[in-house]
Every structure is written in structure tokens, then in C-alpha cells.
Structure 1
Amino acid sequence: MPETPLARAAKLFLLRPEDDAARLRLYEVLSGAELVLPLQGEAEPGSEDVTPETVEAGGVPHVVAHDSVAAFAGGAPRPTATLSGLALSQMLDGQGVGLALHLEGMADPLLVAPESLDWLARNLAGGPSRVEARPLALHPPKGLPAGLLTALDRRLAQGEGLATAAWLAAVDWSDGSRGHLLAFVGARPGAEEPLAAGINAAVALSGSDGVRLDVTFLDEGDPVLERIARVALRFDMVDPMEPPTGPPRLR
């Protein structure tokens, strides 16, 4: 089983626990990762309430989570739930409950303290904000930190199947400010909010202070797309393995 991005980020953090960049990268990857939670039992018919398994560590309860369904391969079938790291941190916010992460290639779980989960939930609680400025000029992207570009690439890979493509360009705005614009093309119905929230998390947790990255959503035939395509960096997001069907999975 290939090592997951979350496992790689965790190993880097364990090698450099005092490195703020390694810590932020772990939080960023965790916020967007899909975690598999073993449950104490099946939900009642018609109910969405589930109870995840927990373990005690240092006298503190920790929810058990895995970074891959492969952890359950070959065993007896058991009930599980899949939840993004951000959604789980928001669910546990203020409850004094940590996270015991079982990661591919690591013998022992990574313990994430309750206060770390609270910080993650509250740091991203506001989500992306809406702006009314109009783009006046578009340019090739320039000057974005390498760490942010890596985080964006990872987030867009997680969003495969939720849009056709994304275009990244530098932009001059009508309010006199400058920044960058990420334009999603052909987003599936209902995918706009999770895509925007994922990009917001990538920027907020990349350690790139002062970077402005706005998000917009365009149809395939939008006239402005031709202008963007002349200068922008394209990220393909079509899932090569499976055509999208049904509602998008929230990440």
C-alpha cells in the first residue's frame, strides 16, 4: 500500500517536532485528509448518529482513526465512517477529546492532543470570505511560496472528479489590490463550498503570510476563461479512474 500524504507529513513532523513549517504542513494535510473511523456499532435505522471507537492515552480519550481503508482489509467486516480531518476536529471542538491516528507505515499511532484539534477547528472556522472586486488584468502566477504551491497541488488532487480543471493566475483587482486567482471550471453541483473551503485551508495553514488567493467558479463556455487560459497554470481535476456520479463527497 503506497504511503499516504498524511503519513508522510506525520513522519516529517516527528523528525522535526520543533519546526513550525512541519507542524503547519501536518495540520494542513490532516484538515483535508479523509479519515476512516471504526465505530462501536451500527447506527440505528433512520439515524445518522454514530459513536466512534476511542482509546485512553495519558488519561485523555482519543478517537481512533486510520488514513486508509486498507487497514481493514482481510479482517472481519466492521462498521466505519469516513470524515475529513477538518470535519472531525470541528465535531470534537471543545470536548477535550484527542485523535489517535493509525498511519500507513507507522507502528504506533500519532496522538493529536485535544488543544491541537481545537486550534485547527477554530483557525479554519470562518471559512473563505466573499469579495466583490472585479479582475482588471491577468498575469502568469508569480511569487507564490513553494510550500503553498505544494499544498494547492495536494488539495486539487484530493478534489479530482469535483471539477474539470482549475486555473491559477496573478490578478490586478478593481479595488487596487493585487493577488492570485484560482478559477475552477466545470464544478459539479454542490462542490463549490468544499472546494473553496479546501483552498482556504491550504492558504491558512501553509505559513504563507500576506498571500491573497481568491477562488471563483466558471462554466466551460465562460468568455473570461479564454483570457485566463492565456496566462494561467492549469491543473487537471478529472478523475481518470471513474466518471463522477451522484453528489460530491465533502472533504
Structure 2
Amino acid sequence: MSKDPTPKTETPLDRAHAAMLRDMDDDAARLGFYGRLADSELFLLLEQEPDGRGSITPEVLDLEGDRFALVFDSEERLSAFAETIAPYAALPGRAIAAMLAGRNAGQAPDRQIGLGLNLGVAPSSILIPAEAMDWMHAALTATPEAGHARPTGFFAPEPAPALTRALGERLAALGGSGARAWLVEADFDDGSRALTLVLSGAPEAEQERLARAVREAALFSGSDLAALTTLFVRAGSNAARDIARVGMEIDLPARKPKSVPAPPGSDPNAPPKLR
């Protein structure tokens, strides 16, 4: 019998899960669910309190030979499942995907670990197999391909509301980089034309991170535009002025001062080790 879902408030993951269930053949809704899972803070149920040395031991549920780590999108839902005070680690979904991918590498299929989300305590209760979590990690960590063609002209883009919204949300989540962004159609000297996100004034040290975020946003927007091109130009350059005249600008937050270092486990590139 299912436990009472707590809290009653619908969460973003509930909505993304419901959209996916409405049509399991809808690739956009399914990609949207994985994108939301990656960006959500999740509460991973542990066997015991973290040891303080960067290692954690997740509670693993064995269901007829399939194994699942247990996560919840709120502390209240974790408590409703555990029915007692239980140790947990709060991590972004992308960090948990990285941990599971590292743990599953080289393991026999019956020893790999998938993800159990909100089991029995929410409308978004779902078992996600290990291979799906491996795909999610691979999608999140793929390196954007560097373009070699040079742009020769810029034009107003066709409306792409889902992509524009996804780009705005993803880039805003990175915090202020001091850049400005426009969506344009661009012609290149190899004869191609592509929908392109142009970032002006982005520090060189942040360009790889921004390009990865753009690729990720395009992929998980569920649009047909996953091959979105990313272009960096100097602020105040002739190209930047041309782009500003025809492009669709995407609002980005202003640069923020450096904050205190993130707690261990919050960086998906250096997740806690599973034991």
C-alpha cells in the first residue's frame, strides 16, 4: 500500500513526470523529465551517515534482482518513505547520475544500480533503470563539438519558444557570467546555415562551461534543435552589433561576486564516492 504523499504541493518533478506519462512516445516530454531530474536537488537515502572523507553509502533497494538507489525531491517525502529519522545526502540529480555511472562501470548487469524516485510517496514515483541513468550521465558530460566554419551573416531566427525558455533557465542557473546572449540564424563560410546562440563578452575561462550548458539546454528542451551551434564574439565588436540588430536576446543575470565554496558533493565533476 502506498504511503501518503508528502508534501501535498506539486513539485516540478511531479509536473515533468506527469507530462511524460501523458504520452510515452513524446520524446520532448521524456527529455524534459530527464532535464528536470538533472537540475533538481535530490535527497539520497543513505545506509549510514557520511564518513566525512568524501564517501557515501546509499541505501539500495533490491526488487527481484534489480537494484535501485533511493532519492526524493524533498526531505518530507524522504521522511514519509523512511517513517523514521534517516541519513541522507542532498545532491543535484546530475551528481547522482555521475556517481551511479562511476559505480556501474564494469559491473555485471545484475550488480548495476538504477534510481528509485519518490517511491510510494508522490505521483512522480518511478523506477529508472541503470542504463537510463548511464545515458543521462553521458548526455550531461558530452563535450560540445568545436566549430571550424566562420560566420558570414546573421539573420532573425524563427520563433523557438521551448528552446528560448530552456536556454534562459539553464544559463541563468549558472549565475552571472557578464555575457549577453542572442539567438540568430547564421550563415557560415562552408555554405551551411544554422540556428546559433551567440554569446558576447563571455570570459574565455567560462566559454567551455557555457557551451556545455547551451548544448544541454537544447538537448533537454525536447526541440528538434539539439544541434544548436554556439558562437562567442567580443563585446562591442562589429559582429556583436550586427547580431544585436537582428537577434532574439535572451535575458541573462548580471555577474555576481564569488561566493563561498560549494559543499562536497555539489560539483557533478567531483561527486562523492559511492561505497
**How far off is 1:69 after superposition?**
6.1
**How far off is 1:130 after superposition?**
0.8
The separation in 1 between residues aligned to 2:72 and 2:22, in whole angstroms, is 21
CA contact (8 A) 1:156 1:235 kept: no
**How far off is 1:83 after superposition?**
2.8
When residues 215 and 4 of structure 1 are mapped into structure 2, their CA distance, relative to the original with a 3 A threshold, is farther
Give the unaligned 5+ runs of structure 2: 1-6, 269-275
Q: 2:242 aligns with which of 213, 224, 227?
A: 227
When residues 57 and 158 of structure 1 are mapped into structure 2, their CA distance, relative to the original with a 3 A threshold, is farther
CA contact (8 A) 2:46 2:86 kept: no
The separation in 2 between residues aligned to 1:189 and 1:55, in whole angstroms, is 45
The separation in 1 between residues aligned to 2:72 and 2:232, in whole angstroms, is 33
Q: 2:136 aligns with which of 105, 120, 136?
A: 120
Structure 2 residue aligned with 1:203: 218
The separation in 2 between residues aligned to 1:135 and 1:79, in whole angstroms, is 49
**How far off is 1:123 after superposition?**
4.5
Structure 2 residue aligned with 1:97: 113
Give 3-state SS (helix, strand or coil) of 2:54's partner: coil
The separation in 1 between residues aligned to 2:91 and 2:226, in whole angstroms, is 32
Structure 1 residue aligned with 2:89: 80
Q: 1:8 aligns with which of 15, 19, 39?
A: 15
**How far off is 1:239 after superposition?**
6.7
Q: 2:193 aligns with which of 164, 178, 181?
A: 178
**How far off is 1:171 after superposition?**
0.8
When residues 70 and 60 of structure 1 are mapped into structure 2, their CA distance, relative to the original with a 3 A threshold, is same
Aligned residues: 245
Superposition RMSD in Å: 3.7
The separation in 2 between residues aligned to 1:222 and 1:51, in whole angstroms, is 52
Q: 2:27 aligns with which of 13, 16, 20?
A: 20
Bigger Rg over Cα: 2
When residues 7 and 217 of structure 1 are mapped into structure 2, their CA distance, relative to the original with a 3 A threshold, is farther
**How far off is 1:223 after superposition?**
5.0
Normalised to the residue count of structure 1, the TM-score between the two structures is 0.75
CA contact (8 A) 1:179 1:211 kept: no
When residues 202 and 171 of structure 1 are mapped into structure 2, their CA distance, relative to the original with a 3 A threshold, is same
Matched AA of 2:96 = L
Give 3-state SS (helix, strand or coil) of 1:152's partner: helix
The separation in 2 between residues aligned to 1:195 and 1:12, in whole angstroms, is 28
Q: Deviations over 1:101-136 (max 9, x none)?
A: 239x93563221222212323455533111122211
The separation in 2 between residues aligned to 1:128 and 1:8, in whole angstroms, is 29
The separation in 1 between residues aligned to 2:230 and 2:153, in whole angstroms, is 16
Identity of aligned residues (%): 33
